[in-house]
């Protein structure tokens, strides 16, 4: 397949060990040309000499960085067929005491970061009357659990944004897909633990510190779905001619879907027992 006949896929948050990195490899395995982006090129060094990848530094919290990465990509490759908004950060802690600056950073990355990319790429896709926008949400939106409210709220907003975009962009031939991962093996637990260590000492919640700390690594048990398995299934769905609006896979995805339909009193009882609150 000629280089210029391949689908061009731009993915945010492709640092090694994460979901984005696995998605990049899975798209490349399907003969796509992958624009792999991250805040540091060094974090994607294993892609460096592979012609399947075009590497770009990209900080989704910066409008200037987004514009530069997209203009460079379009200048080099001529088009973007698929945008995957994967970049995200965790924020663990009780909402009543988490610094607002940490919550703002979470939304700036998880929600506004995705919207920056979307607003930058939509005019290009609309001009071609084709394209796909893939937003990586979270299964925790179905049943929000204690100690990660800021993260879940940012992903819930992303889910709502995705539903709206699906309708608004349809007239322009652009598909919008909500990918909802369950517990997937990645480096997000380490990142969450690192950010939690920078939190202030809790005043009201000192006695819950152990439970809150455990929340940082909740998705990283031995039974978590391997990143490669998640990536392969996701890519197969995204590349369909008529992709579904919603796709959820990974450990606990079915359980959380069931939780969503439970009466709130029952759900609260289960979560209080599970998270010691």
Which residues have a catalytic role annotated?
Answer: 151, 155
Using CA atoms, how far apart are residues 92 and 200, in angstroms rounded to an integer? 12
What percent of the residues of the chain are helix, what percent strand, and what percent coil, each to the nearest 5?
50, 15, 30
Q: What is the 3-state secondary structure (H, E, C) of 87-135?
A: CCCCCCECCCCCCHHHHHHHHHHHCHHHHHHHHHHHHHHHHHCCEEEEE
Cα angle: 212, vertex 104, 253; to 5 degrees? 50
Using CA atoms, how far apart are residues 188 and 126, in angstroms rounded to an integer? 34
Residue 236 makes CB contacts below 8 A (sequence gap 6+) with none
Q: From the CB of residue 160, how many other CB atoms can be counted at a distance below 10 Å?
A: 14
Q: What is the CA radius of gyration of the chain?
A: 19
**Phi, psi dihedral angles at 9 (to 5 degrees):** -120, 120
Using CA atoms, how far apart are residues 214 and 107, in angstroms rounded to an integer? 22
Q: Which residues pair with 83 in a beta bridge?
A: 10, 133
């Amino acid at each position: 397949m000629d280089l210029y006949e391949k689908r061009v896929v731009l993915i945010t948050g492709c640092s090694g060990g994460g979901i984005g990195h696995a998605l990049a490899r899975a798209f490349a395995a399907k003969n796509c040309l992958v624009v792999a982006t991250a805040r540091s090129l060094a974090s994607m060094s294993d892609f460096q000499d592979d012609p399947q990848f075009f590497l770009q530094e990209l900080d989704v919290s910066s409008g200037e960085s987004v514009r530069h990465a997209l203009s460079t990509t379009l200048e080099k490759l001529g088009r973007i067929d698929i945008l995957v908004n994967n970049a995200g950060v965790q924020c663990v802690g009780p909402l009543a005491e988490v610094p607002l600056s940490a919550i703002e950073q979470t939304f700036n990355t998880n929600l506004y970061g995705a919207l920056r990319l979307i607003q930058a790429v939509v005019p290009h896709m609309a001009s071609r009357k084709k394209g796909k926008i893939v937003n990586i949400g979270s299964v925790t939106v179905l049943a929000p659990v204690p100690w990660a409210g800021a993260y879940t709220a940012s992903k819930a907003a992303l889910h709502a944004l995705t539903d709206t975009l699906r309708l608004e962009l349809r007239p322009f031939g652009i598909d919008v897909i909500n990918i909802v991962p369950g517990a997937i093996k990645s480096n997000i637990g380490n990142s969450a633990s690192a950010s939690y260590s920078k939190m202030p000492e809790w005043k009201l919640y000192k006695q819950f510190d152990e439970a809150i700390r455990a929340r940082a690594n909740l998705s990283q048990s031995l039974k978590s779905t391997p990143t490669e398995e998640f990536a392969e299934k996701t890519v197969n769905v995204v590349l369909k001619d008529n992709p579904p609006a919603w796709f959820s896979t990974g450990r606990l995805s079915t359980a959380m879907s069931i939780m969503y339909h439970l009466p709130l009193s029952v759900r609260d009882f289960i979560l209080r027992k599970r998270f010691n609150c």
